[in-house]
Structure 1
Amino acid sequence: MPPDSAAGFRSRFSVERMLRIHERLRDGDAVNCTQLAREMEVSRKTIQRDIDHMRDRLGLPLEYDRAAHSYAYTAPVEAFPTVQMSEGDAVALFVAERALEPLRGTPLFDRLRATFDKLTANLKGTVDITADDHDAVSFRHFGEGRTNAAAFDALQKARDQHREVTFNYRKPGAESATEERRVRPYHLTHRDNLWYLVAYDCARAALRTFALPRMSEVNLTRTRFELPADFDPSAFFSSALGVVEGKGDFAIHIRFAATVAHRIEERDWHESQRLERRRDGSVDLHLRLSSLVEIERWVLGWGDQAEVLAPTELRNQLAQTTAAMAARYN
């Protein structure tokens, strides 16, 4: 991220913090830097800078009460001072709002949407914000997964409080049979258009990935756990095409026909990918994965425009699958 973009990103979140501080002060709550820092998960110095900015740059009637060890407004303040934004800032804000769609149906979506409403309510002056601007950008994913809002809320709470959870889980392919799981929630991720939980399975003593739509009766227990300091979600998924982790180490080599080469080149499919354009216009894609489950399905989606050259195991799997498909359609 360029330095100017990073600064803009940070400034938007400082505005959000200041709006929250303003609401607390307006409602007559005692505002303490230490308490606010804990609630907003930032440093005490960051909160102090926000308050100093509100008082010294925005001209808000803020004073520190030494006896109460807190800040308060010395005069009524109904509206937060106008936030000036450029056209580019406004577009970025609305794009970010539309990008929240994967969270729709979860309590987190409602909270974030309310925050955006508070921010946009104060955007006047340099840019006119209208309802039509909301329709300028949209996000749509084919096969978007259904959100299990109840499970998402419970798992997020369990993750924040470091509490084990139990739930009934339906394995893929099982029509109605479920089994109870007890896990330690580590991470929630939205991948391949579906929400997943990465958790430590207590009975299996190993990390597992669970799809939220397959969960039911999610309950928080009183048992607490410590999140391992070495757990890294990025590293956990580094050798997976999507969410399926394996124990193998496969060097994938796929050749795509010239007719679809540009479609392969215009996307980042995996962090390990390496592309080689050939003289005939075709392109070779090289990946390093720990499982062949997802890559087989993906290659099948390209039909006769893709040929797996390695590994042999994947070629054999595709040969069997396509033979079975041909037999069915014949």
Structure 2
Amino acid sequence: MIKNSDSTQLERQWKILSILSWENKGVTINQIYNRIAKNFGEKVSPKTIKRDLDDLTMVFPIYEDGEGRGTTYALEKYKIEDFVFSVQELFSLFFLREIIRKYDTSEPGKLALQLLERIISYIPSIYDDYIDRLYKTFLIQKDIDSDTNVTVETLKMINDAIVEKKCIKIRYYSFTSDSETVREVNPYIMYEKDGHYYLTGFCKLHNEIRDFRISRMKEIEVLNKSFEILPEFDKTKYYKYTWNILKGSTRYKIEIKFTGNAARLVKEYDRYRADDLIENEDGSIIFIKTVSQLDEIKRWVLGFGSDAEVLGPQEFKDMIYNEIIKMAEKIKGA
């Protein structure tokens, strides 16, 4: 059944590009109209197709031939065989595939890997030997546990709501409270962290901006309600003060002195997380970081034991002290 198109402009233009890529010769607007109806079951007006073609020709190598209704449009095609790869480019292609492989337990990762495998399959066979040798000499460990229940369709639904500024209603499981609630959210932006997908948006239930793990959304419905992003929302600042995932409204300037082996480890592996890192002559370091939530960085600091000394703020010093006392009491009573 052919229906009037409810596709976004991006989706429509992708369909037009697909049709042009299928044809070995130029096609008219009327032929594109018929192919969209046949292959995608949608009706798009010739005026809209013409407007989309005008936009696409500004970006893609699409050529016109003829005049009036007989004008044909053709997409210049490129083949991988036309490219000569350097050793560095082949290594980068292999590296990219192995990085994506870390996400292959999730549907988006699996589809991305299939796409890249498909591209690699068209590379001239003269490069196969080099890629085979890379498999034997270079290993990228799989250290990411991807969300297995997040589908591309779910991400697309949320993405469309973000683009069109439409409110969504979700039935959401909160790990913190171990309960489910139904809430309306104005979706702002999606992001990926350690194989998990998150949505940042304004939660009307709590009347504040919050993060939602998409795998914990049990139901999603796009509502016919429009919204505007709060003018004070700055995505750069919003994520800047995050240690890992958890966020808060308070700013804490954390200062920690690391000594011994901990100082060497932090300099080697965690320097990038610091706002500032001061190296002292005795080999110790002062690690400075402003965060908006203390629980996550608390667990990190405790992992270094007595080689970590919290210099401030006092609230964080008290938190670490109380946690150590509780741990000592449990060990003493065991």
TM interval, shorter chain, is 0.7 to 0.9
Name the amino acid aligned to 2:21. E
Partner residue in 2 for 1:55:
none
Q: Distance in 1 between matches of 2:234 and 2:97?
A: 27
SS of residue paired to 2:82: coil
1:199 Cα offset (Å): 0.9
Partner residue in 1 for 2:261:
259
Q: Distance in 2 between matches of 1:88 and 1:229?
A: 44
Q: Distance in 1 between matches of 2:286 and 2:174?
A: 35
SS of residue paired to 2:250: coil
Partner residue in 1 for 2:5:
none
1:178 Cα offset (Å): 0.8
Structure with greater helix percent: 2
**Structure 2: gaps spanning 5 or more residues:** 1-16, 33-48
1:204 Cα offset (Å): 3.2
SS of residue paired to 1:104: coil
Name the amino acid aligned to 2:193. R
Partner residue in 1 for 2:208:
206
Taking structure 1 as reference, are residues 239 and 219 closer, same or farther at Cα in structure 2, changes over 3 Å only?
A: same
Partner residue in 1 for 2:23:
25
Deviation larger for 102-111 or 82-91:
102-111
Native 8 Å contact 2:171 2:220 kept in 1: yes
1:159 aligns with 2:172: no
Taking structure 1 as reference, are residues 189 and 314 closer, same or farther at Cα in structure 2, changes over 3 Å only?
A: same
Native 8 Å contact 1:169 1:178 kept in 2: yes
Name the amino acid aligned to 2:299. R
Q: Distance in 2 between matches of 1:101 and 1:225?
A: 37
Of 227, 238, 241 in structure 2, the residue corresponding to residue 239 of structure 1 is 241
Native 8 Å contact 2:104 2:113 kept in 1: no
Taking structure 1 as reference, are residues 202 and 131 closer, same or farther at Cα in structure 2, changes over 3 Å only?
A: farther
1:87 Cα offset (Å): 1.4
1:223 aligns with 2:221: no
Query: What is the 5 A alignment of 1:129-208?
Result: 130=131, 133=134, 136-141=138-143, 144=145, 146-150=147-151, 151-175=154-178, 177-208=179-210
Deviations 1:227-264 (A, max 9, x none): 56775432211111122222222221111122132321
Deviations 1:137-190 (A, max 9, x none): 424336x35343145454334334433222222223434x21112112211122
Q: Distance in 1 between matches of 2:212 and 2:203?
A: 10
Native 8 Å contact 2:242 2:291 kept in 1: yes
SS of residue paired to 2:89: helix
Native 8 Å contact 1:261 1:282 kept in 2: yes
1:109 aligns with 2:113: no
Q: Distance in 2 between matches of 1:116 and 1:300?
A: 42
Partner residue in 2 for 1:282:
284
Taking structure 1 as reference, are residues 73 and 239 closer, same or farther at Cα in structure 2, changes over 3 Å only?
A: closer
Q: Distance in 2 between matches of 1:231 and 1:108?
A: 28
Q: Distance in 2 between matches of 1:27 and 1:221?
A: 42
Deviation larger for 161-170 or 94-103:
94-103
1:273 Cα offset (Å): 1.8
**Structure 1: gaps spanning 5 or more residues:** 1-18, 52-61
Taking structure 1 as reference, are residues 247 and 126 closer, same or farther at Cα in structure 2, changes over 3 Å only?
A: same
Taking structure 1 as reference, are residues 83 and 20 closer, same or farther at Cα in structure 2, changes over 3 Å only?
A: farther
Deviation larger for 25-34 or 194-203:
25-34
Native 8 Å contact 2:103 2:146 kept in 1: no
Q: Distance in 1 between matches of 2:322 and 2:254?
A: 18
1:313 Cα offset (Å): 0.6
Percent identity over the alignment is: 21
Name the amino acid aligned to 1:88. Q
Deviation larger for 249-258 or 112-121:
112-121
Partner residue in 2 for 1:54:
none
1:326 Cα offset (Å): 1.7
Partner residue in 2 for 1:88:
88
Deviations 1:182-220 (A, max 9, x none): 112211122355322101113333211112233212222
Native 8 Å contact 2:168 2:221 kept in 1: yes
Q: Distance in 1 between matches of 2:169 and 2:225?
A: 11
Taking structure 1 as reference, are residues 111 and 230 closer, same or farther at Cα in structure 2, changes over 3 Å only?
A: farther
Of 301, 309, 312 in structure 1, the residue corresponding to residue 311 of structure 2 is 309
Deviations 1:43-66 (A, max 9, x none): 74321xx45xxxxxxxxxx76344
Larger Rg: 2
SS of residue paired to 1:115: helix
Name the amino acid aligned to 1:148. N
Q: Distance in 1 between matches of 2:119 and 2:50?
A: 22
1:80 Cα offset (Å): 6.0
